[in-house]
Chains A and B, each alone.
Chain A
């Protein structure tokens, strides 16, 4: 055990100090932030420019109503989710500089077209009474590929007309405003008789956590594999084996690399928390009413660790069979396949967490880290199921560790070609 601890310590310290680790740990949050921020910034830049639009109508009142609708900030209900792209239009100055033209003649149309070509205006909206009666208006512009703009214009016209008609039917301005307020639908999860997190937020949080589980198992499982191969190719392995058993060596390696993965994930979570908390406080966004159930947090920690150990021992067995990184690429599919398969299965399990499909697949140790976690997140299954699932995972991991260390012990003697399955059976016998 003392030797295992020494291996853990070396593996952990060497990795934590490496430039690769530091760069990866720092770059990941930057990368994640930029994937969220840059598109928002880009659309912000585009929408920053004011669009000069001419409204052409026989009826100046109609034109005025549409104009008001366009320059006024769009209506936002108290609880409307503000997506990264949606919030800006509410806060920014009106995007449109609108002028009204009551001269709805063909000559004027030609003149306006010329103005677009000359770049004096960006577009004009043809709102004659006739067109409005047919409920079909035409927007002419230099570029009409901005669907957001088309939708905004259509909504503005629609709302303006609706308001006008309602007012004509005798409703007050306030009544009309009230009537046109958008409606939100929130699905709230019931947990032990109490209201829990809302559906969409549970989905988003589960999704993020599943991705973290997935990345951790793949990246750090593969790191274990490479580390084993590196010891073989640098020829240090035999020196180590003169004082450590294969089993202790592999166990130490798996724990050490896992501790690095855990450190990195915790750093990322802390960074994410540090950046998102002020944002969440400020804006009542979709994430603000996320209450991750405590059971979910515990389940994440448990399946993060158990899932890693299970897959790391599997990668260790595969790494013990081969001698080079190229070969490692070829043999890693037995470890990758179940991970990918469980990601695929996570959707049906998410939708029907109590189905027999969900039960049986989440009991398979290789699927359990992701599927059982998903089940706990959406609807906590009976305790005995979780306990059974954890017990099965631990047993499988222990069995795999024994298997890996036997392969490892024989594998050092067999340089050259990697073993076929029957050869592998013989290896296990040699290990004695």
Chain B
């Protein structure tokens, strides 16, 4: 079975600036794939080239086992980071309009819009104008617009930004259902916790280049259990400790990366001399840790 998305060395420059630098990755059918990177890394440029808004200077985009052509867009749902709606249109008319642009008939678009509005608790709002809706509601409408035509590939750029936790969970559940139904989801963000919970594979890009790509579990395993999460009361002199490579303080707890070959038991002995330890756990590094590590190195 061909991969849903296959990027073959796509490259795009604007004047002197290299937005995407010979980037390649594949997304397996039915998987949730995370496209990560700091702001300005080239995530959005990559996505825009995948769906033909821009054309790469070099390289090729293959979707569903075929070289990119515009008819494929009817099988793709896109929720861009820069998103909005026509303010003065009625919600239902707006959804029908966007559905028809993706090749649906008016009646089908209406039927599915109403179904989705009900599922996302927007039923009372379908006859209202977009401008009367709250920001969170508008965002749910945009989400519906992206999946209305039952696309095989969904591209979601920061889908949770600006949503309250209840709505974020609602959206996440929909995404998991879509995954169960065999849809492929490309999920672009710089929120590592979400990626860790949802994605199977990731591509971390920085300055338009892929710096880390592959199966999330394997990536984390390759780092080994060289990270310690600690909760304690007191003051720990991490900066004078020779065992430690880096420290990340999350407020409630501290995540410590050990130097290669350092013994975690030695750290525990050192720490217990200075503070009361309530938790000491050897874990795989969090994605955030890896992210900061990779991006920090390349910066």
Residues on A facing B (Cβ under 8 Å): 2-3, 6, 10, 14, 18, 234-245, 409, 412-413, 426, 430-432
Contact = CB atoms under 8 A, between A and B. Distances in A.
B54 A409 contact: yes
A2 B52 CA distance: 18
Interface string B45-73: 10010011111010000000000001001
B104 to A, nearest CB: 11
B102 A239 contact: no
A243 B148 CA distance: 13
B205 interface: no
10 contacts: A2-B103, A235-B84, A236-B84, A237-B82, A239-B80, A242-B73, A245-B52, A412-B53, A413-B14, A426-B15
Given A239-B83, A239-B145, A245-B52, 9 more contacts: A2-B103, A235-B80, A238-B78, A238-B83, A239-B98, A241-B53, A244-B101, A412-B53, A413-B14
Interface size class of B (residues with CB under 8 A): 20 to 34
B80 A238 contact: yes
B28 interface: no
Contacts of A6: 97, 100-101
A242 B84 contact: no
Nearest to B88: A14
A249 to B, nearest CB: 10
B195 interface: no
Contacts of B88: 14, 18
B170 interface: no
B183 to A, nearest CB: 16
Contacts of A431: 55
Instruction: Give the most central of A14, A238, A431: most B CB within 10 Å.
Output: A238
A238 B83 CA distance: 7
B87 A14 contact: no
B85 interface: yes
Contact of B82 (A18, A238, A243, A432): A238
B142 interface: yes
A245 B51 CA distance: 11
Instruction: Give the most central of A14, A242, A432: most B CB within 10 Å.
Output: A242
Contacts of B97: 6, 10
A11 to B, nearest CB: 10
Contacts of A245: 52, 70
B89 interface: yes
Contact of B102 (A235, A243, A430): A243
B186 interface: no
Given A14-B88, A235-B83, A242 B54 contact: no
A432 B57 contact: yes
B250 interface: no
B188 to A, nearest CB: 13
B60 to A, nearest CB: 14
B202 interface: no
A242 B85 contact: no
A239 B48 CA distance: 11
Instruction: Give the most central of A18, A430, A431: most B CB within 10 Å.
Output: A430
Contacts of A234: 84-87
Contacts of A409: 53-54
Contacts of A432: 54-55, 57
Nearest to B52: A245
Contacts of B102: 243
B73 A243 contact: yes
Secondary structure type dominating chain B contacts: loop
B82 A235 contact: yes
A412 to B, nearest CB: 8
A243 B15 CA distance: 27
A5 to B, nearest CB: 10
B76 interface: yes
Instruction: Give the most central of A18, A236, A409: most B CB within 10 Å.
Output: A236
Instruction: Give the most central of A3, A10, A14, A412: most B CB within 10 Å.
Output: A10
Nearest to A234: B84
B91 to A, nearest CB: 14
A3 B104 CA distance: 11
A337 B23 CA distance: 47
B67 to A, nearest CB: 16
B70 A242 contact: no
A14 B84 contact: no
A14 B101 contact: no
Nearest to B84: A235
The 6 closest A-B pairs by CB, nearest first: A235-B84, A242-B78, A238-B80, A234-B84, A236-B84, A243-B101
Nearest to A17: B88
Nearest to A245: B70
A234 B102 CA distance: 20
Instruction: Give the most central of A234, A243, A244, A426: most B CB within 10 Å.
Output: A243
Contacts of A242: 51, 53, 73, 76, 78, 80
B155 to A, nearest CB: 8
Nearest to A233: B84
B86 A236 contact: yes
Instruction: Give the most central of B53, B55, B57, B76: most A CB within 10 Å.
Output: B53
Contacts of B84: 234-236, 239
Nearest to A236: B84
B142 A239 contact: yes
A325 to B, nearest CB: 15
Interface in B131-145: 142, 145
A334 B145 CA distance: 38
Contact of B14 (A10, A236, A239, A430): A430
B72 to A, nearest CB: 11
B75 to A, nearest CB: 11
Contacts of A412: 53
Contacts of B101: 3, 6, 240, 243-244
Interface string B93-132: 0000110111100000000000000000000000000000
A128 B87 CA distance: 80
Nearest to B13: A430
Nearest to B106: A6
A248 to B, nearest CB: 10
B5 to A, nearest CB: 15
A426 B16 CA distance: 11
Contacts of B79: 239
Contacts of B57: 432
Contacts of B83: 235-236, 238-239
A300 B198 CA distance: 62
